[in-house]
Amino acid sequence: MRAIQYNILLILIGLFLYRCKGLYQNDFLYDQELIRLDTKTTIGYKLFQTGIDNFRFEFYITENIDTTGLFKTYLNDAVFKKSDFFPLLHGTQL
């Protein structure tokens, strides 16, 4: 009986860890600097592909060697094809 309880507990822990967002692997595409405010401060974003035609942008600010995340935004296939990001990501001109 004890072994069954331990197995159920291990399965529940495994399912919990499987569903944690921090464990999802996203494909890093590139890091782009947007604005250089002065010699030590920049604003930029990192682009990740989270699925087929689904992307995540992480905007950040870097001052000296400290980096702080500003916000994240997601683009799915429907929004992505209607935006200005589509030609830029697929290497075509606007």
Q: What is the mean pLDDT of residues 34-41?
A: 88
At 66-91, the pLDDT tens digits run: 989 988 888 876 665 555 555 555 55
Cβ–Cβ under 8 Å, residues 50 and 76: no
Instruction: For residues 32 and 47, give the distance between their C-alpha atoms in angstroms, rounded to a whole number.
Output: 8
Q: What is the pLDDT of residue 42?
A: 92
Phi, psi of 23 (to 5 degrees): -95, -5
